[in-house]
Amino acid sequence: QKEVEQNSGPLSVPEGAIASLNCTYSDRGSQSFFWYRQYSGKSPELIMFIYSNGDKEDGRFTAQLNKASQYVSLLIRDSQPSDSATYLCAVRQDNNDMRFGAGTRLTVKP
Amino acid sequence: NAGVTQTPKFQVLKTGQSMTLQCAQDMNHNSMYWYRQDPGMGLRLIYYSASEGTTDKGEVPNGYNVSRLNKREFSLRLESAAPSQTSVYFCASSEAGQGGHTDTQYFGPGTRLTVL
């Protein structure tokens, strides 16, 4: 079992819709959770992080964390074609090591 | 601020050749990291340096060596390249090192390496 799992996609949504990206992790002691966006051929760039159960909002992005279910998600409201990218979930484990998921490819269609 | 810079951007090697990937950051960060990214595998940590003067192995260190030259610079060396090392290599840096659970890593533009 991989330590951080994401659906590889591709996930396709129409412009203006809500995109929902999911991530599960195996280390129950994990402390914090990061979402990165990676455009094709580019480096990952941080969208946001979350470390408390519940929701955290930043503009059109909302991260949701449920530690009991070992589940973290990213919602993108009013999706735009410029949101088309691969989204990486990263988890800081109990031993402080960061583990990355393989990413979910999102396509937003005009 | 340039952030995290890497050289070269692209490299093609023959099996058995050696090379060094360079990384520098101008954010006065304490920690630096080397990752490789392969299709379907996500980012995997090769080595990291929690602070100047220290280096530690990550998930996939075999075939690599690193040097933390000073606070700004962290290099990755392939002594005898193998086709299995064909990958995209990313350097990253973070402020607080291994102590802070909200410590955020910032990535360089990457080096695309092909070993024939």
**pLDDT one-digit tens code per residue, A93-107:** 877 788 999 999 999
Rounded to a whole number of angstroms, the distance from the CA of B18 to the nearest CA of chain A is 24
Residue B37, pLDDT above cutoff 90: yes
Which of these, A42, A18, A34, lies nearest to A106 by C-alpha position?
A: A18
Which of A27, A43, A93, A100 is the mutation pick for testing B, counting most B CBs within 10 A? A43
Mean of the pLDDT values across residues A13-41? 95
B110, closest residue in chain A (CA to CA): A43
Choose the weakest-confidence range: A93-102, B28-37, B84-93: A93-102
**Quick one: pLDDT at residue B103?**
82
Mean of the pLDDT values across residues A20-43? 94
Which of A42, A51, A98, A105 is the mutation pick for testing B, counting most B CBs within 10 A? A98
- From start to end of chain B, where are the E strands? 4-7, 10-13, 19-25, 31-38, 42-49, 56-57, 64-68, 74-78, 87-94, 106-107, 111-115
A80 with A108: CB under 8 angstroms? Answer: yes
Put simply, whether B14 touches A (Cβ < 8 Å) is no
**Quick one: pLDDT at residue A42?**
95
Please, what sign has the CA dihedral across residues A61, A62, A67, A69?
negative
Burial of B52 (0-12, 13-18, 19+ CB in 10 A): middle
**Quick one: pLDDT at residue A7?**
86
**Quick one: pLDDT at residue B99?**
54
Mean of the pLDDT values across residues A36-56? 95
Mean of the pLDDT values across residues A73-90? 97
Residue A24, pLDDT above cutoff 60: yes
Residue B52, pLDDT above cutoff 90: no
Q: Which of B42, B106, B110 sits opposite A100 (nearest CB)?
A: B42
pLDDT tens-digit map of B65-78 = 999 989 999 999 99
B60 with B41: CB under 8 angstroms? Answer: no
A vs B: CB pairs below 8 A: 45
Q: Which of A31, A32, A100 sits opposite B43 (nearest CB)?
A: A100
Q: Which of B45, B108, B110 sits opposite A98 (nearest CB)?
A: B45
Q: For chain B, what is the mean pLDDT?
A: 92
